[in-house]
Chains A and B, each alone.
Chain A
Amino acid sequence: MAFRAMISSRSIQQSKWVPSAGVARQMSSWFGHVEPAAKDPILGVTEAFLADPSPDKVNVGVGAYRDDNGKPVVLECVREAERRIAGNLIMEYLPMGGSSHMIEESLKLAYGEDSDFIKDKRIAAVQALSGTGACRLFADFQKRFLPDSQIYIPVPTWANHHNIWRDARVPQNTFRYYHPETKGLDFSSLMEDIKNSPNGSFFLLHACAHNPTGVDPSEEQWREISHLFKSKNHFPFFDMAYQGFASGNPERDAKAIRIFLDDGHLIGCAQSFAKNMGLYGQRAGCLSILCDNEMEAVAVKSQLQQIGRPMYSNPPVHGALIVSTILGDPELKKLWLQEVKGMADRIIGMRTALRENLEKLGSPLSWEHITNQIGMFCYSGMSPEQVDRLTNEYHIYMTRNGRISMAGVTTGNVGYLANAIHEVTK
């Protein structure tokens, strides 16, 4: 090549064919063909809300808690934890697996303080980038070590679940979950789909406060599901993003997991502290996988770290410090439990208020499901067209599947919301 000859002859300055220094030869963009991506269905809602100038606007889109004034909340226990951490000021890299203190506390929360799995060191666990990151690590791990496996995902589910397992290149199937007529659980179809799937399939289960429907199996139904899983040798992967937020009691919200553990399942679990500690932007979470024994747990953890290393090297320290400070201090933990109950109670109160308002307006439809469902979200049953009307005519923002984030409902806007819903559904 002329360029090579040029260099070896040390006549660099004499070259004539090299383009002049000011101009890149490439005339058009390499990325000109790139299509604009569709907006994220959930996060796009908030963008649209922010852009709306109407004084009446209501955001019941994204699942982020608001107080009764519609304001975001930083928990007192979090503020206190941050004050304590600020003096600390160590920002060095965490180990690849994250903060061991945070992991320890996360596991106690999910599996119980006295869990034998913890005592016997049978849990492979790493700090993860909130719930999303935990799911993604698991999906990548599943792909790497069980490349022929696939994941069964409930219908409906948080939209990003599909993106996560798709980007991990794990084939997906669905199982029936929500019953549109009853606006409750379609238990018989669910059991049928579990039965009909090949033995040893991987299933994604929402541990509590199903997103987006708010519909959870009852305790008895969880037992039956667990029993069927046993006979099918299925792998249960729990996404637990709302522990404490559903009933107000973290132990109670972990009931499904404890049932599966009692039945001897070796589960996987993604935990998020985004909602229950209000740590959204800090991306604090944990991925755990139960193993046969300590040695296997060490091996699995080491492999999980190998997946994190080429993604972000090691997880962020700040959120982890907040979590471990709160959960590791009895006083702060007590405060946190009170605050989380407060949040859950307010939401339960708003469910009641919304339903009562709709009934008072004389709506012919049944709105029972609003109080039957649990957690941050209510699956209203409204159609995308009805949702569009809510947005265009009433400046009420929610995702087009009719999911209402109850956390965005306040005593100040519940009447307006009920009225608007009544108008578009009557």
Chain B
Amino acid sequence: MDEAIMRVDRTSSERRLSTLVRHLGAGLSSPSCSPSHTSISTEQFENSKNAKISLSPMAAFGSVFANVVQAPEDPILGVTVAYNKDPSPLKVNLGVGAYRTEEGKPLVLNVVKKAEQSLINDPSRFKEYLPITGLAEFNKLSAKLIFGADSPAIQENRVATVQCLSGTGSLRVGGEFLAKHYHERSIYIPVPTWGNHPKVFMMAGLKPMSYRYYDPSTRGLDFQGLVEDLSAAPEGSIVLLHACAHNPTGVDPTPEQWEQIRQLLRSRSLLPFFDSAYQGFASGSLDKDAYSVRLFVADGGELLMAQSYAKNMGLYGERVGALSIVCKSADVAGKVESQLKLVIRPMYSNPPLHGASIVATILRSPELYHEWTVELKAMADRIISMRQELFNALQAKGTPGDWSHIIKQIGMFTFTGLNKGQVAFMTREYHIYMTSDGHIYLNNATFYNSLVIFLQEDQHGWFE
């Protein structure tokens, strides 16, 4: 992954000072501005106090950050920036994974609206600081959601759960904890993966490595490559696993394959780190989408689990998520939780209250919970039906190529198989925005016509 950090030359004190001199002009021959690092004498200090330095408020010092270079746009979020700038009325944004209705509008779930109303109408609610680990009730309910209410790990108090800022925050806090307390720094990440994963783990102090995952020739899972690469990973390495609806390919292992992956990881003492951003969104069933995670928990082993409510509750901007660490014993879980606090405190002290309160309100109420599962299934079903629609449209037009992967894959994304050049063409000619690796978010049926025509006509012979 290209490193977006542009290191700059260090600004020397000489350069800063010459900038200063340029700006100040005449008034500045006082010895107190010499570049030496010795301290100035009281006399010099007194002199400098009295020196008439005539400045306009703007003219004093050059910035110490004058050489900072502009960073490139984030490869994913930058798509939306470009989309927003486009004046074309035809434009479509298939970049960021945010659900859209049939009308192309963002959706706030009814159950979320209800939860918010009840929070606002409760005069006893305060906005005080949450504990460092977040809203306790939210943490318990989140653990139950992903691990199952009857999970032995929960019954035995072996799970340390902390509220974090959505999936990103959970991954970052988990990564920093591992960098501090775990004996291995390597984290194995599937190829491809969500664009932000490598950066998150690198900033956390881990060393991203990769394992094969996606097979472009079958547009499915490269199971053999996965097994080979993880078999070669040093014992104890961390392995990042997408719990379901792999982002960006939509390709998931089958249950049988998950069992083999589990055995492989456990036999080599590799530490699983799950990223669950789509529970309930993939198949429409919360339990089914948690299958892989629960399989691992059932064998009594340890793992990390990053949960996000951005998509499945539509709480994107509220930044709601949770990091759970399943440990061998309750004692260890207690100590682990205490150390997680030390990671969080110097980052942002304690997590934001609003989104977690909404989630807790929904998860604790049987009626609201049920209502949520219904809305969630509707969203998942719509995406599944759009996959079918796209596939049918391609079949009907006799589009060259095998498009069955579109209905075999699962979740919000599909890999069109378009390359950078083709993506750029789609954007230029059709105002269809997507990330340059060609994965699209299946949220908007109106683009299908354009996409199908484009693929149909294959003007550039790209599919031959």
Contact flag A25-B335 (CB < 8 Å), given A227-B49, A319-B352:
no
Contact A1 B166 (CB under 8 A): no
Q: How large is the interface on B (under 10, 10 to 19, 20 to 34, 35 or more residues)?
A: 35 or more
Contact B302 A31 (CB under 8 A): yes
Q: Does B148 contact A (CB under 8 A)?
A: no
Contact A231 B40 (CB under 8 A): yes
When each residue 70-94 of chain A gets 1 if its CB lies under 8 Å from chain B and 0 otherwise, what string results? Answer: 0010100010001100100111111
Chain A residues with CB under 8 Å of B259's CB are: 21
Min CB distance A63 to B, Å, is 9
Count chain A residues whose beta carbon lies closer than 8 angstroms to a beta carbon of B. 111
Q: Does B300 contact A (CB under 8 A)?
A: yes
In chain B, what residue has the closest Cβ to A195?
Answer: B39
Contact B346 A132 (CB under 8 A): yes
Contact B169 A37 (CB under 8 A): no
Contact A91 B196 (CB under 8 A): no
Contact A199 B70 (CB under 8 A): no
| Docked pose: A96 CA to B37 CA in angstroms | 39
In chain A, what residue has the closest Cβ to B78?
Answer: A96
Contact of B202 among A89, A167, A196, A310 (CB under 8 A): A310
Instruction: Give A44-62 interface residues, CB cut-off 8 Å to B.
Output: 47, 62
| Docked pose: A40 CA to B8 CA in angstroms | 36
Q: Does A18 contact B (CB under 8 A)?
A: yes
Contact B348 A133 (CB under 8 A): yes
Contact B316 A72 (CB under 8 A): no
Contact B319 A316 (CB under 8 A): yes
Instruction: Give A4-39 interface residues, CB cut-off 8 Å to B.
Output: 4, 7-8, 12, 18-19, 21-26, 28-37, 39
| Docked pose: A227 CA to B46 CA in angstroms | 11
Contact A281 B228 (CB under 8 A): no
In chain B, what residue has the closest Cβ to A29?
Answer: B328
Q: Does A157 contact B (CB under 8 A)?
A: no
Q: Does B120 contact A (CB under 8 A)?
A: yes
Q: Does B338 contact A (CB under 8 A)?
A: yes
Min CB distance A59 to B, Å, is 12
Contact A89 B199 (CB under 8 A): no
Q: Does A367 contact B (CB under 8 A)?
A: no
Contact of A233 among B20, B96, B117 (CB under 8 A): B20
| Docked pose: A221 CA to B78 CA in angstroms | 46
In chain B, what residue has the closest Cβ to A75?
Answer: B127
| Docked pose: A241 CA to B146 CA in angstroms | 38
Contact B339 A231 (CB under 8 A): no
Contact B317 A94 (CB under 8 A): yes
Contact of A231 among B33, B169, B182, B336 (CB under 8 A): B33
Contact B228 A4 (CB under 8 A): yes
Q: Does B334 contact A (CB under 8 A)?
A: yes
Contact A95 B17 (CB under 8 A): no
In chain B, what residue has the closest Cβ to A165?
Answer: B346
The listed residue with most B CB atoms (<10 A of its CB), out of A62, A160, A280, is: A280
Chain A residues with CB under 8 Å of B271's CB are: 30
In chain B, what residue has the closest Cβ to A71?
Answer: B126
Contact A299 B117 (CB under 8 A): no
Min CB distance A350 to B, Å, is 19
Contact B71 A303 (CB under 8 A): yes
Contact A306 B4 (CB under 8 A): yes
Question: When A and B form their complex, what is the total count of cross-chain residue pairs whose Cβ atoms lie within 8 Å?
Answer: 341
| Docked pose: A93 CA to B346 CA in angstroms | 24
Min CB distance A390 to B, Å, is 23
Q: Does B350 contact A (CB under 8 A)?
A: yes
Contact A281 B132 (CB under 8 A): no
Instruction: Give A265-291 interface residues, CB cut-off 8 Å to B.
Output: 265-266, 274, 278-283, 289-291
Chain A residues with CB under 8 Å of B329's CB are: 29, 32
- Of A144-152, A334-342, A358-366, the one touching chain B: A144-152
- Of A177-185, A209-217, A244-252, A256-264, the one touching chain B: A256-264
Contact A22 B327 (CB under 8 A): no
Contact of A35 among B66, B267, B335, B351 (CB under 8 A): B335
Q: Does B181 contact A (CB under 8 A)?
A: yes
Min CB distance B227 to A, Å, is 5
Min CB distance A57 to B, Å, is 17
Q: Does B427 contact A (CB under 8 A)?
A: no
Min CB distance B202 to A, Å, is 7
Contact B132 A312 (CB under 8 A): no
In chain B, what residue has the closest Cβ to A162?
Answer: B346
Contact B64 A200 (CB under 8 A): yes
Contact A32 B328 (CB under 8 A): yes
Contact B129 A64 (CB under 8 A): yes
Chain A residues with CB under 8 Å of B131's CB are: 43, 47
Min CB distance B20 to A, Å, is 7
Contact A7 B77 (CB under 8 A): no
Contact A31 B335 (CB under 8 A): yes
Q: Does A408 contact B (CB under 8 A)?
A: no
Contact B5 A231 (CB under 8 A): no
Contact of A310 among B64, B120, B199, B341 (CB under 8 A): B199
Q: Does A292 contact B (CB under 8 A)?
A: yes
| Docked pose: A199 CA to B37 CA in angstroms | 6
In chain A, what residue has the closest Cβ to B84?
Answer: A95
Contact B130 A281 (CB under 8 A): yes
Min CB distance A199 to B, Å, is 6
Contact B68 A300 (CB under 8 A): yes
Contact flag A96-B345 (CB < 8 Å), given A37-B338, A198-B37:
no
In chain B, what residue has the closest Cβ to A308?
Answer: B168
Chain A residues with CB under 8 Å of B319's CB are: 312-317
| Docked pose: A31 CA to B199 CA in angstroms | 25
| Docked pose: A47 CA to B71 CA in angstroms | 43
Contact B165 A316 (CB under 8 A): yes
- Taking A92-B98, A231-B48 as given, write out 11 further A-B residue pairs in contact, using a Cβ cutoff of 8 Å, ordered by the A residue number: A19-B263, A29-B302, A93-B316, A160-B349, A280-B127, A292-B63, A299-B68, A302-B70, A309-B77, A311-B347, A316-B318
7 contacts between A and B (CB under 8 A): A31-B332, A91-B112, A92-B106, A200-B16, A233-B20, A283-B353, A318-B318
Interface residues of A (CB under 8 A from B): 1, 3-4, 7-8, 12, 18-19, 21-26, 28-37, 39-40, 43, 47, 62, 64, 72, 74, 78, 82-83, 86, 89-96, 116, 120, 129-130, 132-133, 136, 144-148, 160, 163-164, 166-168, 195-196, 198-200, 224, 227-228, 230-233, 235, 261-266, 274, 278-283, 289-292, 296, 298-300, 302-303, 305-306, 309-319
